[in-house]
Structure 1
Amino acid sequence: MPNRPRAALATETLTGLVTDAAAAPSMHNAQPWNFRFHSGTATLDLRADPARAMPESDPEHRALHLSCGAALFNLRVAAVHEGRDPGVRVLPDPADPFLLATVELADPAPPADPAGLWPLYPAIRQRHTSRWPFADTEVPDDVRAELIDAARREGADLGFVSQWHAEEIVDLVHDAEGRDDADPARRAELDRWTRLGDEAESATTGVPEYAFGPRQRDGHAPVRDFAGRHEVADRGTTSFEHIPHLAVLGTAQDGPADWLTAGQAMQRVLLTATVRGLATSLTSHALEWQDLRSLTRDPLSAMAHVQMVLRLGYGPQGPATPRRPVHDILTIA
């Protein structure tokens, strides 16, 4: 990374940047990240938190890397918004695999914003995972093209799936649900991150019951039911879309650096979709079983490795889910 001018970073600005970064989605809202700021070099480390990993459903930490990649992208957007030019190095130390990135917060940011990050900033706080029904309205071609370009700008591919492929993915999700239900360890892992009753109001991690959305009476939306076997008062049931609008995001290779690339691309797509008035959710259920993951790929597609399935459409944004306090995730050295 070339040497660039550095300027002091006020604590209030730093905490704002980390708060924005931590608004990213993560598997089961585990928020598996920590940040360490080095005052002398104006550099922020992004570290994965293995204590918040999912050993049953994510043993290789692929989803953990995607989550942290999404936080890294949010950090880049927030830094540009604050007038900083973020210089990013991913996986800078082979001996420290949980040091996922270092971000040099040089000053000032180029006024032209060549990466096109500035317009995405408002969507950081507007984007929430929606487990509610979407309309069957098609996503316009120009919006699809913009989302495809968003993924490409971060080094990944995005493809909107055909109706037969969407039906296949929904079937794979149902297969994964059945497997999970029969696996006590996986059920226990999901329960660990499910927040019910009074706990839903005070939790800082996990998926609270007010974000579960209604039960699906009919339709084919691949939405994970976090309630599982638990009863949730006043939840209700309703019809979901019969033809879900799904997109698959993928990469050419399938290692830690590629997972971070996919996480950044995923977040860029989600923020772009939010700016364009779309509600979004993520569907990783089938990807958590290696044999099912390979089947989510369209055999007619050039995409090599599917990293995430996105559900897009017009409907309510989901509610904000809790976040860990900044003092829990940020250390200043």
Structure 2
Amino acid sequence: MNGNHGSEPGRTHPGLARPLDTTTVTALVAAATAAPSLHNAQPWRFRHVAGGSTLELRADLERTMPRFDPDLRGLHLGCGAALFNLRVAAADGGLDADVRLLPDPTDRQLLATVRLTDTDRPDRELARLSTVISRRHTSRHPFEDRPVPDAVQEALRHAAEQEGTQLVFPDRWHVESLLDDVRDAEGRDDFDAAYMAEMRAWTRVGPQETDAAVDGVPDYAFGPSKRRGRAPVRDFAGRRPVPGRPAAVFETVPNLALLGTTHDHPADWLRAGEAMERILLLATLRGLATSLTSHSLERQDLRELARDPVSGMGFVQMVLRLGYGPAGVASPRRPVDHVLEIVPAG
């Protein structure tokens, strides 16, 4: 997708809104939908009025999870990640994206509007992340038992700050506490029939299901079962056997990072989603494998325990696992025409 610049005949002046054609809109939405979301539910929709310069990001409330995500915080995180990918794709195409979060208090499903204009100075820092949108996948494989270098940690912290959030690499004692909370959450999940049923609804096991899947977590993305190790990786197989699935030893001291915000409202969740994706893409660009762990954040009492008292972080929105190891595999995505509505002008 190439941006049009300058004042040649037929081109839009920099800083002016560009009427978006179908090819451009489709490319932007395709990039957006590569974002991660809880159980790969892809809880987003996009709307564009033909001939206009604006895209709407809307929540797909048919893809909610009452047990895992009762307050829709996870839905907002995923949609925020999709919004960030859209911004990256826009910058790569020579466009400036003017984003308004939650612009209409009377429309619960309208999460953001993005007005696109031509620019002679696209955000190069954003644009360079476009090369890894298609490479970023959740890795549920073991990582090496070695730390993330300080310089990389600092770059990821800065990425979070650019989106108005905070990223903290907790001390060893806090990592131990987080791992205890994950084990607590896993133990509760095992005895919660509604939790297990909801997870099964979003997993795809066996060729018949995985070959036709456009959402959810397919068995080929489960990763190996855990023989030993302490990495907080959700086992989507649950109690179901997956033929041919190997077992592996995971890292003993996982590299975890806490992504947090000062406040805890829907706009904060969207910003956290944008920051989450910015961090994941930059980590991928720096050669790291990544995964997300929200086990303990899905229970309010455990979520409160995840806060880092040293940093003064207000609310933890996501726990990230980073390291050096195999990249994850691509999970299925809904076709763009399933999530994009283009309506006639007028």
TM-score range, shorter chain: over 0.9
User: C-alpha displacement at 1:111, in angstroms?
Assistant: 2.0
In 1: Cα distance, 2:146 partner to 2:167 partner: 20
Partner amino acid, structure 1, of 2:311: S
Match of 1:315 in 2: 325
In 1: Cα distance, 2:246 partner to 2:187 partner: 22
Match of 1:21 in 2: 32
In 2: Cα distance, 1:302 partner to 1:22 partner: 33
Match of 1:48 in 2: 59
3-state secondary structure, aligned to 1:117:
helix
3-state secondary structure, aligned to 1:158:
strand
Give yes or no for contact 1:80–1:109 (8 Å, CA) kept in 2: no
What is the 5 A alignment of 1:155-170?
Answer: 155-170=164-179
Note if 1:141 corresponds to 2:150: yes
- Pick the aligned partner of 1:11 from 19, 22, 25: 22
Larger radius of gyration: 2
The Cα offsets for residues 106-154 of structure 1, whole Å up to 9 and x where unpaired, read as 1x1342527x201111111110000000001211110000000000000
Over aligned residues, Cα RMSD in angstroms? 1.2
In 2: Cα distance, 1:44 partner to 1:153 partner: 23
3-state secondary structure, aligned to 1:101:
strand
Partner amino acid, structure 2, of 1:189: E
Count, aligned residues: 329
The Cα offsets for residues 216-265 of structure 1, whole Å up to 9 and x where unpaired, read as 11111000000000000111111000010000000000000000010000
Moved more, 8-17 or 182-191: 8-17
Consecutive unaligned residues in structure 1, runs of 5 or more: none
User: C-alpha displacement at 1:166, in angstroms?
Assistant: 1.2
User: C-alpha displacement at 1:302, in angstroms?
Assistant: 1.1
User: C-alpha displacement at 1:321, in angstroms?
Assistant: 0.3
Give yes or no for contact 1:85–1:109 (8 Å, CA) kept in 2: yes
In 2: Cα distance, 1:58 partner to 1:326 partner: 25
Note if 1:260 corresponds to 2:270: yes
Match of 2:107 in 1: 96
Give yes or no for contact 2:94–2:122 (8 Å, CA) kept in 1: no
Moved more, 290-299 or 243-252: 290-299
Partner amino acid, structure 1, of 2:152: V
Give yes or no for contact 1:36–1:44 (8 Å, CA) kept in 2: yes
Give yes or no for contact 1:85–1:110 (8 Å, CA) kept in 2: no
Give yes or no for contact 2:83–2:274 (8 Å, CA) kept in 1: yes
Note if 1:82 corresponds to 2:93: yes
Note if 1:38 corresponds to 2:49: yes
In 2: Cα distance, 1:256 partner to 1:63 partner: 10
Give yes or no for contact 2:21–2:50 (8 Å, CA) kept in 1: no
Query: TM-score with structure 1 length normalisation?
Result: 0.97
3-state secondary structure, aligned to 2:158:
helix
Give yes or no for contact 1:219–1:240 (8 Å, CA) kept in 2: yes
Give yes or no for contact 1:151–1:265 (8 Å, CA) kept in 2: yes
The 4+ residue runs of structure 1 with deviation greater than 6 A are: none
Match of 1:280 in 2: 290
Match of 1:299 in 2: 309
3-state secondary structure, aligned to 2:134:
helix
The Cα offsets for residues 286-311 of structure 1, whole Å up to 9 and x where unpaired, read as 00000000011122221010000000
Q: Note closer, same or farther for the CA distance 1:181–1:111 as it changes in structure 2 (3 Å cut).
A: same
Give yes or no for contact 1:24–1:267 (8 Å, CA) kept in 2: yes
